[in-house]
Structure 1
Amino acid sequence: MQAVKNGDTVRVHYHGRLTNGTTFDSSEGRDPLEFKVGAGMVIKGFDNGVVDMTIGEKRTLNIPVEEAYGPKNDELIMEFPKENIPSDLNPQVGMDLQMSNPQGQVFPVKVAAIGDTSITLDANHPLAGEALIFDIELVEIK
């Protein structure tokens, strides 16, 4: 039976959860996730975890922080003066916003804290700093 190797395009069903059991994503009710193994289209631990799987095989991947979205980066947490916030925006802790850098690139941020004169914005990936667990099933090797 054919086993997955780097360079193969595969389709998998998955259920992703945090180490505390909280589900953060799943392909349930959707088409399987399709990606090219080893091309960096998914996190490293997921990429490596499908190698040598055969069609129909199920696996649980325990992915450490370093092979997921990496540790939180303090340089991506910034103070933003409230006076620079549009007057029609009422930021709340946990709210997702969009910012742009001087080059015009847009990136997502989350409101982490609100002070008297500034708000704290976090541009880390929402899963940065988290070890992840994926239950996966290989559906197809293309």
Structure 2
Amino acid sequence: MQISDNTVVQFNYTLKDQEGNVLESNSGHDPMAYLHGHSNMLSGVEKALTGKTKGESFSVTLAAEEAYGERKEDAIQRIPAKHLQGAKVWKPGMVAVVNTEQGQRQVTVVKPGKFMITVDLNHPLAGRTLTFDLEVVDVREATSEEVAHGHAHGVGGHHHH
């Protein structure tokens, strides 16, 4: 079966920067799963996966605008320390999670203060050309429930509590 809209794809990935350093990988863990065609995945990765089948391995290199976007120099904001999740003590360069109206996003601490923390709202990987090594583990038709919810369920997917 080929990857197309409303298929659930299980895949393994290794993410590398331009110098070939591994930034993220799920090797040794369950495969990641996502519902194709529902904007759950970087569009450049989704485009590269379209039409692939179980067992295929390949690499795709995405320019910043296809990956996490260009860096915006004005995306610096001071926010109350209590809104940052992920650590008790913040140091410059640490990545925090902040809940926003658009859901959770990662921010980078620029300057910690006692009550207010200056953060960079750019995604930590913004402005970088990235290479994804991808391996398609499985492809299946999505269930009507998955399509209705807009995401994959089960191993590597979205869990409802």
Question: TM-score, normalised on structure 1?
Answer: 0.77
Query: How many Å separate the matches in 1 of 2:7 and 2:81?
Result: 47
Query: How many Å separate the matches in 1 of 2:61 and 2:122?
Result: 21
Q: Which residue of 1 aligns with 2:126?
A: 128
SS in 1 for 2:74: helix
2:109 maps to a residue whose letter is: V
**Cα–Cα, structure 1 residues 33 and 66, in superposed 2: closer, same or farther, change >3 Å?**
same
SS in 2 for 1:48: helix
1:111/1:121 contact within 8 Å kept:
yes
Q: How does 1:50-65 map onto structure 2 within 5 Å?
A: 50-65=49-64
Q: Which runs of 5+ in 1 are unaligned?
A: none
**Cα–Cα, structure 1 residues 90 and 19, in superposed 2: closer, same or farther, change >3 Å?**
same
**1:65 CA drift (Å):** 1.1
SS in 2 for 1:75: coil
**1:72 CA drift (Å):** 1.1
Q: Computing the radius of gyration over CA atoms, which structure comes out larger, 1 or 2?
A: 1
**Cα–Cα, structure 1 residues 36 and 90, in superposed 2: closer, same or farther, change >3 Å?**
closer
**Cα–Cα, structure 1 residues 96 and 62, in superposed 2: closer, same or farther, change >3 Å?**
closer
Question: TM-score, normalised on structure 2?
Answer: 0.69
Query: How many Å separate the matches in 2 of 1:106 and 1:140?
Result: 28
**Cα–Cα, structure 1 residues 52 and 128, in superposed 2: closer, same or farther, change >3 Å?**
same
1:110 pairs, out of 108, 125, 131, with 108
Q: How does 1:1-142 map onto structure 2 within 5 Å?
A: 2-78=1-77, 80=78, 91-97=90-96, 108-113=106-111, 120-142=118-140
Query: How many Å separate the matches in 1 of 2:89 and 2:31?
Result: 38
1:127 maps to a residue whose letter is: L
1:56 maps to a residue whose letter is: G
Aligned length: 132
